[in-house]
Amino acid sequence: MQRSIVSFALAAAAVFGASYTALADSLPDLDGKEVVIASENTYPPLQFVDPKSGDAIGWEYDAIAEIAKRLNVKVTFQNTSWDAMIPAISAGEYDLAMNGITIREDRAQQVDFSDPYMRSEMFMLVREDEDRFTDPKSFAANNDLLAGAQPGTTPFYVTVYDVLDGDEANPRIKLFETFGASVQALKTGDVDLVLTDSTGGQGYVAANPDTFKLIGDPMGTEDFGFIFPKGSELVGPFNAAIASMRSDGTIDALNTKWFFDYKVGQ
């Protein structure tokens, strides 16, 4: 199994090498090109609906706004489900998508990825009062415990192969259309575990400190990227913009804003 499972963003500033050497003054001007972006808005703090304002906000929205300014593009957003996202990008229905999407070789056969903009680690998200298991082994040993996941996602495959027995049809895995739905099922007790990268997991814990917690050691690392239709001419300019944002400290500033400073509903 391909296991390029995506480490926490704040530790990623200098790990991606020579591709991050572009400077802002060398970026291409795309002359106001209109770019349609798909998102799901269920993945705090990367992208989610602000419970106070009702607006879609997050790290990725701020990053895209900065990229749009640097490249001179006009962006519009379309909400779509995770299940439909990669097929829709592959078919050219949108110009790109953002959803904390793990860079994986199987997906790269359908879409083109940007360079990584973030790295995150996989953790076990559970209810705050959970005391029946503390790691994958103790979860797997209790046949009464259920896990929630979205089919085709990195957390689904990690649940199958790193937590349970490698059977993708294992009845202990309950499938949900969105990550938010799986977290809601965890909250109500319909499942007992949801695997998540540290980015999304810390977002949910910060928003619901008396409801959820992360337990156990990190289970691997994964890199996040934007996705584009195969052969998209936007990949190069977006990579250059990401490089310039890393070079001038903008990505570090976004990390500080969304992982340290932001408080839900304030």
- Tracing tokens 């199994």 back to the chain, one arrives at 1
Which comes out higher in pLDDT, residue 47 or 3? 47
Sheet holding 227-229, edge to edge: 73-79, 33-39, 96-97, 227-229, 111-113
CA atoms within 13 A on the CB side of 227: 31
149 forms bridges with which residues in the sheet?
A: 175
Mean pLDDT of 180-199: 91
Please tell me whether residue 213 adopts helix, strand or coil conformation. strand
Q: What is the pLDDT of residue 3?
A: 29
Instruction: Say if residue 264's pLDDT is above 70.
Output: no
Q: How distant, in Å, are the alpha carbons of 11, 106, 161 from that of 45?
A: 16, 26, 27
In 72-197, which residue ranges form alpha helices assigned H by DSSP? Answer: 82-90, 105-108, 136-141, 154-158, 179-188
- Identify whether the C-beta of residue 89 lies closer than 8 Å to the C-beta of residue 229: yes
CA angle 163, 167, 173 (to 5 degrees): 65
pTM (2 decimals)? 0.66
Q: Categorize the per-residue pLDDT at 156 as very low, low, confident or very high, splitting at 50, 70 and 90.
A: confident
Instruction: Say if residue 116's pLDDT is above 60.
Output: yes
Q: What is the pLDDT of residue 18?
A: 36
Q: Provide the mean pLDDT of the chain.
A: 87
Window from 184-193, 211-220, 252-261 with minimum mean pLDDT: 252-261
Q: How distant, in Å, are the alpha carbons of 26, 33, 67, 251 from that of 72?
A: 13, 7, 8, 19
Q: Categorize the per-residue pLDDT at 266 as very low, low, confident or very high, splitting at 50, 70 and 90.
A: low
Instruction: Say if residue 238's pLDDT is above 80.
Output: yes
Instruction: Say if residue 11's pLDDT is above 50.
Output: no
Q: What is the pLDDT of residue 113?
A: 98
Window from 37-51, 58-72, 236-250 with minimum mean pLDDT: 37-51
C-alpha span between 153 and 85 (Å, rounded): 12
Q: In this predicted model, what pLDDT tens digit does every residue of 46-66 receive, in sequence order?
A: 999 998 899 999 999 999 999
- Rg, Å, the chain Cα set: 18
Instruction: Say if residue 13's pLDDT is above 60.
Output: no
Instruction: Say if residue 128's pLDDT is above 70.
Output: yes
